[in-house]
Amino acid sequence: MMSRFFCVCRANCESPVGCTISPERDCRNSQPGYHIRRRDLKKIHRAASVGDVRNVQRVLFLRQNGLDEPDRKNRTALHLASASGHGGVVTLLLERGCQVDAQDRKKRTALIKAVQCEAEECVDILLKSGANVNAADVLGNTALHYAARLDTASIAEKLLSHAADMDAKNQVKHQLSTQQKTKMRSLLIRRKG
């Protein structure tokens, strides 16, 4: 089992490496998805966040919102659908040609959000569409950092099979521990064997 190496809280941190993932979240009450306020969203964002494929199609057909149009927090419909685990909407948006590596205001891509929210179907779709597995957020964390912290071996294995960098360091210069790298390598060997 991978040991915990990141903390997600602002204060009272129990992690030996400090807070490196999201300084605005509380360990006891953390929600990996976005905090969504209706007033921040446009029609396409509202439809994507609830997985309403037909309404996303309608909004795009009527050109009420653009495919990559950001909301007030610079999140695209792809970010919101990925964070909410709506694979049908993610597929639709990618088929229509949205930017797979668009970044929100904290430089998180849809892949990073899908990993944070453990939305494995969305992770698969994004990887098959060429999402950058080594994109880092404002804290320097990649999707693999989040997968390791959450101990989601199946997602970590998929990221590694798409050339995720096990040596990537975040802003506070922490990287995967030797134990975590060993587990990641064994996942790769098992996959090849």
Q: Into how many domains does the chain fold?
A: 1
Percent of the chain with pLDDT over 90: 60
CATH number at residue 98: 1.25.40.20
In a domain, 160, yes or no: no
Q: Average the pLDDT over each of 26-40, 99-113, 157-171 and give the range with the smallest value.
A: 26-40
Backbone angles phi, psi at 168, to 5 degrees: -65, 135
188 within a domain of the structure (yes/no): no
Domain-embedded: residue 115: yes
Q: Is the model's pTM score more than 0.85?
A: no
pLDDT at 3: 34
Task: State which residues form the domain around 93.
Answer: 33-132
Query: Is 91 among the domain residues?
Result: yes
Residue 111 covered by a domain: yes
Residue 18 banded pLDDT, cuts 50, 70, 90: very low
| Burial 31-67, CB ≥16 within 10 A → b, else e | ebebebeeeebbbbbbbbbebbbebbeebbeeeebeb
Q: pLDDT band for 38, please (50, 70, 90 cuts).
A: confident
Tens-digit pLDDT profile for residues 125-183: 999 999 999 999 999 999 999 998 888 889 999 999 999 998 888 876 566 666 666 76
